[in-house]
Chains A and B, each alone.
Chain A
Amino acid sequence: MKTKSVVDLKAGESGIISGFLDDTLSLKLLEMGCLPGQSIKFNFAAPFGDPICVSVAGYNLSLRLDEAVTISIQ
Chain B
Amino acid sequence: MGDKAVRRIALIGNPNSGKSSLFNHLTGLNQKIGNFPGVTVDKKKGYCMLDASTKAEIIDLPGTYSIYPNSTDEKIVFDILGDKNSALYPDLVVVVVDASNFKRNLLLFTQIHDLNIPTVLALNMMDLVKKTGLNIDHKKLEEQLCIPVVPIEARKGKGLDALKKALKGQYKTERKPIFNAHSHASEAIESVKKIFSLTEDYRAYQLLQQHRISQGLQENEKNLLSDIAEKHAFKKDELRRTETLERYASINDFIQGVVKESSAILPKRWTQKLDKLFTHKILGYLIFMSILFLIFQSIFAWAEVPMDLIDLGFSTFSAWLGHVLPDGVLTDLLTEGIVPGLGGIIIFIPQIAILFAFISILEESGYMSRVVFLMDKIMRKFGLNGRSVVPLISSVACAIPAIMATRTIDNWKERLITIFVAPFISCSARLPIYTIIIALIIPDEPVLGILNLQGFALMGMYLLGFSAAFISAAVMKVILKTKERSFLVMELPTYKMPRWGNVGITMYEKSKTFVLEAGKIILAIAIILWVLASYGPGDRMKNAHEVMANQFPGLDAVELESKVEAYRLENSYAGIFGKAIEPVITPLGYDWKIGIALITSFAAREVFVGTMATIYSIGGVDDESTIKQRMGAEINPDTGLPRYDFATGFSLLVFYAFAMQCMSTLAIVYRETKGWKWPLLQLGYMSMVAYLSALLVYQLFS
Contacts and interface: CB of A to CB of B under 8 A. Distances in A.
Interface of A: 23-33, 35, 39, 43-44, 46-48, 50-51, 53, 55, 57-64, 67
Interface string B105-149: 001000000000000000000000000000000000000000000
B581 to A, nearest CB: 48
B104 A61 contact: no
A53 B491 contact: no
Interface stretch (B214-222, B263-271, B291-299): B263-271
Most chain B C-beta atoms within 10 Å of own C-beta, residue among A43, A48, A51, A61: A51
B490 A59 contact: no
Nearest to B105: A33
Interface SS of chain A: helix, strand, loop or mixed?
mixed
A53 B492 contact: yes
Nearest to B377: A48
B65 interface: yes
B95 to A, nearest CB: 15
B232 interface: no
Contact of A62 (B65, B240, B488): B488
Interface in B256-294: 264-267, 271, 275-276, 279-282, 284-285
B373 interface: yes
Contacts of B285: 47
5 contacts: A31-B65, A32-B65, A61-B492, A62-B488, A62-B492
A53 B561 CA distance: 71
B373 A46 contact: yes
Contact of B491 (A23, A30, A61): A61
- The size class of the interface chain B forms with chain A is 35 or more
B267 A35 contact: no
B244 A25 contact: no
Given A48-B377, A50-B377, A59 B491 contact: yes
A34 to B, nearest CB: 9
B566 to A, nearest CB: 59
A30 B70 CA distance: 13
A33 B107 contact: yes
Given A53-B373, A61-B489, A27 B237 contact: yes
B670 interface: no
A47 to B, nearest CB: 4
Given A58-B101, A58-B104, A47 B241 contact: no
Contacts of A30: 241, 244-245
B488 A67 contact: yes
A26 B241 contact: yes
A32 B489 contact: yes
A33 B252 CA distance: 12
Given A28-B70, A30-B245, A60 B267 contact: yes
A59 B104 contact: yes
Contacts of A28: 70, 487, 489
B409 to A, nearest CB: 14
A66 to B, nearest CB: 9
A64 B229 CA distance: 34
A29 B487 CA distance: 11
A41 B196 CA distance: 46
